A and B are shown apart, each in its own frame.
Chain A
Amino acid sequence: MALWKPDPTFYASPRDAVSAPPEKLAYVAAFDRAAEKPDAIAVLDVDPDSGSYGDVVGWTELPYLGDELHHFGWNACSSALCPYAPHPHVERRYLIVPGLRSSRVYVIDTKDDPVTPKIVKILEPDELAKRAGYSRPHTVHCGPEGLYLTALGGANGEDGPGGIALLDHTSFDVLGRWEVDRGPQYFAYDAWWHIAHDVLVTSEWGTPSMIEDGVVGELLLGRKYGHALHFWDLRKRRHVQTVDLGDEHQMVLELRPAHDPTKQYGFVGVVVSVEDLSASVWVWHRDGDAWAAKKVISIPAEPADAASLPPVIAPFGAVPPLVTDIDLSVDDQWLYVSCWGTGELRRYDVSDPFHPVEAGSVRLGGITGRVPHPAAPDLPLAGGPQMVEVSRDGRRVYVTNSLYGAWDDQFYPDGVGAWMAKLDSSADDRGPGGFTLDERFFPNGDAFRGRRPHQTRLQGGDASSDSYCYP
């Protein structure tokens, strides 16, 4: 039933959203790599005044095995306030949770019991295949007139093209394929938009066969993974322009457009350059009538003894940083960059998006570092900061350590483990002291019941869930 007043977690502008009250719960997708136990949504207490702060306090198991939960999102968000399709009396209450491996999509209701959310609907893979021609659903975004769900594969696991399926945001039925004209686009991964400019942006990973059994060395060295950005007309659903970052830049993943709706720029992370194993962050922007992209951050590989490296990178004698996720604070000031290979989370001041200034770095885990968390100094950590989520007010940053089952196993063959950490980020202190680990927050190991934690969503929304139509 619709609300009488707008959902209190919707904000007209990013400026308003920054004043949102702190979240009390975090939802984390956790999956069982062996597919012997069901994947789950873990619910974490993130209220520092609570006795169970930092604990997993809720656990919703899925009814099937082997879904491989990855990214997920809210059914509705601040974009419901947009003037051309306004419907602010819907509720942000359902998590739309795709299984990246199974192609099944769960709708999970968090309203009645936020600590124990309930599955209310399951979209079977054939519905996505039949109605939209896609599989391997990846990213969920709440738009003003529906839910956008990116998918890596074609129908029933075919190798592509991947693209976007549209879902009805009340019935959650698959309405169909979003693209009217995809132009040369073939690979899919993330999608987000400049909503006030009717522009959609997509990025590229690889098709199901290129990822599901791990990184394929020949494809990587053959520069066959995705290396371009695509720009689309959001209204006409037509491909407008491809911006190729160069085929040495393999795997163009997370898109973080500026939240300020008057701006037309955003950041995208590149996992690895095959020329020197560096990772990079690019800013896309308007260049006259066209789109352009510029590399603004480059993070070099760190030399290491080949004997200490997993087989996949041993021949190189270096640890690639592997930038697998980035996140932009709602005020567009701070960019967080995960270096999953070296085990580092960097913070950049991107007030000037073309000249990011590093403003903090924290080490945790890493292929050779295995840096422990201060809460458990004797516990070497595998994995590294991977999915990163920033609270709406920008003060809290949550990270989880698993990237993707098959890839975890390649880069951390002795086990990636399971952990989550939280950092406090201060806007006043730009030095290292302004960006520190919260020693009270370190759920790990058995807390996740044998599952690997992946993406985090915060109660009431976070820095990568909402879009705003008003500055």
Chain B
Amino acid sequence: MTDGSLAALVALGAFHGLNPAMGWLFAVARGLQERSRALVLQSLPAIAAGHAASVGTVAVLVALTRSVVATRILAAAGGVLLVGFGLWRLLSSRHFRWVGMRISLWQLAGWSFLMSSVHGAGLMLLPVLTSPGTAPAGHDHGLSSSGSALTTGFFVTAVHTLAMFAVAGAVAVAVYEIVGLAVLRRAWFNLDRLWAAALIGAGTFTLLTAV
């Protein structure tokens, strides 16, 4: 894995963590409801776990597929998928709904998994996953390389999630303790549109580098 890929993974993790809709707002809501910082902190691992499961599924699938399919085909297919998904996110006005306000940590993790999945959080990592730098070591397409592909998938997921968790946690605690939710009105830019643009951008980049 190159330094550039690593930086991209961390940056995307930070971007996901920053988005109130990806979970930190839920953590703050739970904390405020019970006036408990502990509840804010307790919620964050569940949210990160759900996010990791969503991102990890894509990362592991891509890494495994890569070990048996030519990079170029995978990158092209992934690029098309990403652009399509990004356009859908941009144009769709549906709002995701699964739970209410009173939920268990398991449900919170499940919510986070679904929220990340319908937003294509894992897909956004495709350029990193299909870039030459993240190829599994060795070129024999045998068992050993799928093992190493799995390792790559887990590594990518771990780095990304850690960055997401750190940023989401920092924002959640800062909002809960210091800033207050009034900041939402000024600072909550429409990340959904930015998100869609990022998906389309990532897809285009993947396609361009594939051909």
Residues of A within 8 A of B (CB): 2-6, 8, 10-13, 16, 81-89, 144-145, 169-170, 195-198, 234-235, 261-262, 469-471
Q: Are B101 and A469 in contact (CB under 8 A)?
A: yes
Query: Given the known A-B contacts A2-B193, A86-B21, A471-B32, are A196 and B101 also in contact in the complex, defined by CB atoms under 8 Å?
Result: yes
Residue-wise, chain B 167-181 has the 8 Å CB interface mask toward A (1 for contact) of 000000000000001
Q: Are B101 and A82 in contact (CB under 8 A)?
A: yes
A contact face: mostly helix, strand, loop, or mixed: loop
Q: Could you give 27 example pairs across A and B, Cβ below 8 Å?
A: A2-B192, A2-B193, A5-B186, A6-B184, A11-B185, A12-B182, A12-B184, A81-B184, A83-B25, A83-B26, A84-B97, A84-B99, A84-B101, A84-B111, A86-B21, A88-B184, A89-B192, A144-B95, A195-B101, A196-B101, A196-B102, A198-B102, A234-B100, A262-B33, A262-B35, A469-B29, A471-B33
Q: Are B192 and A4 in contact (CB under 8 A)?
A: no
Residue B104 at the chain A interface, CB threshold 8 Å? no
B101: which A residues are within 8 A, CB to CB?
A: 82-84, 195-198, 469
Most buried by A among B98, B184, B189: B184
Residue B45 at the chain A interface, CB threshold 8 Å? no
The smallest C-beta distance from A15 to any residue of chain B, in angstroms, reads: 9
Contact of A5 among B20, B35, B188 (CB under 8 A): B188
11 A-B pairs besides A197-B101, A262-B35 with CB distance below 8 A are A2-B190, A5-B186, A5-B188, A5-B189, A11-B185, A87-B95, A88-B188, A144-B97, A198-B101, A235-B100, A469-B101
Please report which residues of chain B, range 49-75, place their CB below 8 angstroms from some CB of chain A when the two chains form the complex. none
Contact of A12 among B103, B181, B192 (CB under 8 A): B181
Q: How far is the CA of A140 from the CA of B95 in the complex (A)?
A: 19
B189: which A residues are within 8 A, CB to CB?
A: 4-5
Please report which residues of chain B, range 152-211, place their CB below 8 angstroms from some CB of chain A when the two chains form the complex. 181-182, 184-186, 188-190, 192-193
B97: which A residues are within 8 A, CB to CB?
A: 84-85, 144-145
Number of chain B residues whose Cβ lies closer than 8 Å to a Cβ of chain A: 30
Q: How far is the CA of A86 from the CA of B95 in the complex (A)?
A: 8
Q: How far is the CA of A152 from the CA of B38 in the complex (A)?
A: 45
Q: How far is the CA of A8 from the CA of B184 in the complex (A)?
A: 10
Q: Are A10 and B190 in contact (CB under 8 A)?
A: no
Q: How far is the CA of A469 from the CA of B25 in the complex (A)?
A: 11
The smallest C-beta distance from A23 to any residue of chain B, in angstroms, reads: 18
Q: How far is the CA of A153 from the CA of B184 in the complex (A)?
A: 40
A234: which B residues are within 8 A, CB to CB?
A: 100
B32: which A residues are within 8 A, CB to CB?
A: 470-471
Contact of A85 among B93, B95, B188 (CB under 8 A): B95
Q: Are B190 and A4 in contact (CB under 8 A)?
A: yes
Most buried by B among A3, A4, A198, A470: A470
Most buried by B among A81, A84, A85, A169: A84
B98: which A residues are within 8 A, CB to CB?
A: 84
Q: How far is the CA of A16 from the CA of B190 in the complex (A)?
A: 21
Q: How far is the CA of A455 from the CA of B209 in the complex (A)?
A: 60
Q: How far is the CA of A438 from the CA of B91 in the complex (A)?
A: 48
Residue-wise, chain B 132-161 has the 8 Å CB interface mask toward A (1 for contact) of 000000000000000000000000000000
Contact of A8 among B93, B96, B185 (CB under 8 A): B185
Most buried by B among A3, A6, A13: A6
Most buried by B among A2, A83, A170, A470: A83
Q: How far is the CA of A86 from the CA of B19 in the complex (A)?
A: 11
Q: Are A13 and B181 in contact (CB under 8 A)?
A: yes
User: B181 — nearest CB in chain A belongs to which residue?
Assistant: A12
The smallest C-beta distance from B12 to any residue of chain A, in angstroms, reads: 20
**Among all A-B residue pairs, the 6 with the closest Cβ atoms:** A198-B100, A12-B181, A83-B26, A145-B97, A235-B100, A83-B25
A235: which B residues are within 8 A, CB to CB?
A: 99-100
Q: How far is the CA of A178 from the CA of B51 in the complex (A)?
A: 31
The smallest C-beta distance from B189 to any residue of chain A, in angstroms, reads: 6
B182: which A residues are within 8 A, CB to CB?
A: 12, 16
Query: Given the known A-B contacts A5-B190, A84-B98, A234-B100, are A10 and B185 also in contact in the complex, defined by CB atoms under 8 Å?
Result: yes
The smallest C-beta distance from A173 to any residue of chain B, in angstroms, reads: 12
The smallest C-beta distance from B105 to any residue of chain A, in angstroms, reads: 14
B28: which A residues are within 8 A, CB to CB?
A: 83, 470
B93: which A residues are within 8 A, CB to CB?
A: 2, 170
The smallest C-beta distance from B69 to any residue of chain A, in angstroms, reads: 37
Contact of A83 among B29, B35, B95 (CB under 8 A): B29
The smallest C-beta distance from A148 to any residue of chain B, in angstroms, reads: 13
A16: which B residues are within 8 A, CB to CB?
A: 181-182, 185
Q: How far is the CA of A353 from the CA of B185 in the complex (A)?
A: 31
Q: Are B96 and A85 in contact (CB under 8 A)?
A: yes
A81: which B residues are within 8 A, CB to CB?
A: 184
Q: Are B33 and A261 in contact (CB under 8 A)?
A: yes
A89: which B residues are within 8 A, CB to CB?
A: 190, 192-193
The smallest C-beta distance from B23 to any residue of chain A, in angstroms, reads: 8
Q: Are A6 and B99 in contact (CB under 8 A)?
A: no
Q: How far is the CA of A176 from the CA of B196 in the complex (A)?
A: 30
Q: How far is the CA of A469 from the CA of B188 in the complex (A)?
A: 16
Q: How far is the CA of A164 from the CA of B86 in the complex (A)?
A: 35
Query: Given the known A-B contacts A6-B188, A81-B184, A86-B20, are A470 and B100 also in contact in the complex, defined by CB atoms under 8 Å?
Result: no
